[in-house]
Structure 1
Amino acid sequence: MERYNRDLHTHGIDEYNEYKDTSSTGRDFSFGLLLGIVVGTVAGLVFAPKSGQALREDFSDPVGMFEDGKEKLVDSIKQKKAEFEEVSRIKKMDDDTLELQKAAIRSEAHDSNVIDMSKL
C-alpha cells in the first residue's frame, strides 16, 4: 500500500491510497500502560521512606497500616483544633483587655476634663 503524499495529490493525482496502520495502536497503548504500572510500582518501592522490613510488615497487615494512618490523621486534627482554640482564647482575651483599656482611658479623659474649683 502506498503512503499518502500531499504534494503528489495536489499536483493532479486523483486517486490515492491512504496508509492506515491500526493494528499496533491498541497493542502499543496496552504495552505502555503495563510498562507505566511496572515502572511506577518499582519507583514507589525504591523511593519509599521505610526500610524493607518495615515495608514487608506493612504489606502483611494492610488494615493495621490504614489504622495507623487514621490515628495519625485524627491526632493531627485534634492538635490543629487545640491550636485554633488557643488562638481564639487569646484573641478573645486580647479583645476583652482592649475594651478594659479603652474604658480606663475614657474614664481618665473624662476625669481630667473636670476642673476642681476648690484648688483655684
Structure 2
Amino acid sequence: MLYGPLGVSLAPYIRSSPTLSKLFTPVAKWYAGGSLYRQYGLLYDDLLIEERPEVQKALSRLTPREAYDRAFRIKRASQADVLHAPLPRDQWTKPEEDIRYLLPHVEAVEKETLERAKWDTLEVKRK
C-alpha cells in the first residue's frame, strides 16, 4: 500500500466512516480536479514516481497494451505542456475513467519485497 509522509494511510479509516467519507469526498474531488492532470489526459497512476524500485518492477508487469497507452498519455501530455495549453475538452480524462491500473502491481511488489525480506532474515534453529 502506498503511504503518506508519516508512513500511515488514513484512507481505509475515512472510507469506513460514512461521516468522514461525506466530509472528505468533495474535498478529494475538488483536489483531483484542481491538480489539472486530467486536463492533460493523464491518469493518476501516470504521476507515480518511476524511480522507486517498486514502481519500476510494477511497470515491467504491465501488459504491452497498458504500457503503450501509458507512454502515449505521457507523450501527449508532454506535448501539450510544451505548447502551454491543455488538451481539448473532449480528450480530458473523465473521473470515471481515472482508474488505478498500476496500484495493484505496486502493492503486489511491496508484498513480495516484505515476504522476501522476511524469508531472507529467517533463522533456522536446531533442536
TM-score class, shorter: under 0.3
Give 1 or 2: higher helix fraction. 1
Higher relative contact order by CA 8 Å / sep ≥ 6: 1 or 2?
Answer: 2
The structure that has the greater radius of gyration is: 1
Q: TM-score, normalised by structure 2?
A: 0.26
Q: TM-score, normalized by length of structure 1?
A: 0.27
